[in-house]
Structure 1
Amino acid sequence: MALTPSTMMPLGTTAPEFTLPDTVSGKDYSLAELTGTKGLLVTFICNHCPFVIHIIDQYTQLLNEYIEQGIGCVAISANDVVSHPDDHPDKMKLMAANQGFKFPYLYDETQSVAKAYDAACTPDFFLFDSQLTCVYRGQFDDSKPGNNKPVTGRDLRQALTNLVAGQPISEQQVPSMGCNIKWKG
């Protein structure tokens, strides 16, 4: 596992367009279809990463909660499934079902979407307002595997809460940390 920080897309960046298949429904989703009335959270995750596994229960609960408040949510895996078969779309579908995702879990087979977002690690969070302008790209919270801090989602939750309430989001944001995206050779 290579500990990798997120690249921190510049605040104010417009969300790159994409259309990707959902591993659960088989339906293709576009950026416009995923955006909620208050905004959109795009997260790059995968099945095998210890950093994702560490937060997955709280992550799922948090996203399912904010979907009800007008935030569109989507998880995307871009990992090379040849080198990391646990991240295959069939296994993504199982993870989504087992975790109770109420949001699509999309597969970026060409890795073009991950590159467009300059995603670097799993998990990597990108929060956009209703105009699809980046307002947050930081960590879930300061809990990491082995540091004995509770998983709360504090940092991302605060950004989501402020976005829903129409309040400013602090520009003091800590990069997410996780496993590097498994790029194709």
Structure 2
Amino acid sequence: MALTPSSMVELGFQAPDFSLPDVFSGIEKTVADVAGSKGLLVMFICNHCPYVVHIEEALVALGKEFHGTDLGIVAISANDVTDYPRDCPELMAQKLYGFPYLYDETQQVARAYKAECTPDFFLFDGELKCVYRGQFDDSRPGNGKPVTGEDLRNAMTALLKGQPVSEDQKPSVGCNIKWRKELS
């Protein structure tokens, strides 16, 4: 495991479109399918990363808290399942997040979003421009800080209220995305 920070794309970055299968339904989902009228949270996560496992319950709670609002939520896993079989779609489908969990087999979507780690969070406004990219909160496995989701939740709440999202944003950190080995 290589501890990796998020890339911190420029604010205003336009959300790339995608068409990826939802592991729960098997139905392809696009940005338009999952976005709400006030925006979209795109999370790059996976099943095995200890940084994702550390916040998993809080992700479920966040999904419940914002369910039914004008903000869409989607999670995407892009890890290479050949070398990391615990991240395969069949095991992804066992998670009970309450929001779509999509599988990016080609890894093209993760590259388009400039995702680097799991977890990696990107919050977009109603025009699908990035207003937040950064950490869930200050908690990490073993650091003793409570998992609150404060940083991301504050950004989501501000967006829904039509208030500016603070530009004071800290990078997320976690396991690097497990990129497929390129054929030589």
TM-score computed with the length of structure 2 as normaliser: 0.97
Paired with 1:176 and 1:63, the residues of 2 have a C-alpha distance of 19
Structure 1 residue 68: deviation in Å? Answer: 2.1
Does the alignment pair 1:152 with 2:152? Answer: no
CA RMSD in angstroms, aligned pairs only: 0.7
Unpaired segments of 5 or more residues in structure 1? Answer: none
Match of 2:170, SS state, is: coil
| Structure 2 contact 76–104 (Cα < 8 Å) conserved | yes
- The match for 2:75 is 75
Q: Which runs of 4+ in 1 moved over 4 A?
A: none
Deviation by residue 1:96-148 (Cα, 9 ceiling, x = unmatched): xxxx3221100000000000000000000000001101000010000000000
Aligned match of 1:176: 172
Q: Residue 166 of structure 1: which of 162, 166, 183 is its match? A: 162
Look up the match of 2:5. 5
Structure 2 counterpart SS, 1:94: coil
CA contact (8 A) 2:59 2:97 kept: no
Identity of aligned residues (%): 61
Q: Does 1:47 align with 2:43?
A: no
> Alpha-carbon deviations, 1:14-35, whole Å to 9, x = none?
1001110001100000111111
Aligned residue among 112, 118, 141 for 1:116? 112
**Unaligned stretches of 5+ residues in structure 2:** none
CA distance in 2, matches of 1:111, 1:7: 16
Aligned length: 181
Report which of the two has the higher share of helix: 1
TM-score by length of structure 1 reads: 0.96
**Aligned residue for 1:125?**
121
Distance 1:44 1:109 in 2: 13
Rounded to whole Å, the distance in 1 between the matches of 2:48 and 2:14 is 30
Contact 2:48 2:86 in 1 (8 A): yes
Partner of 1:93: 93
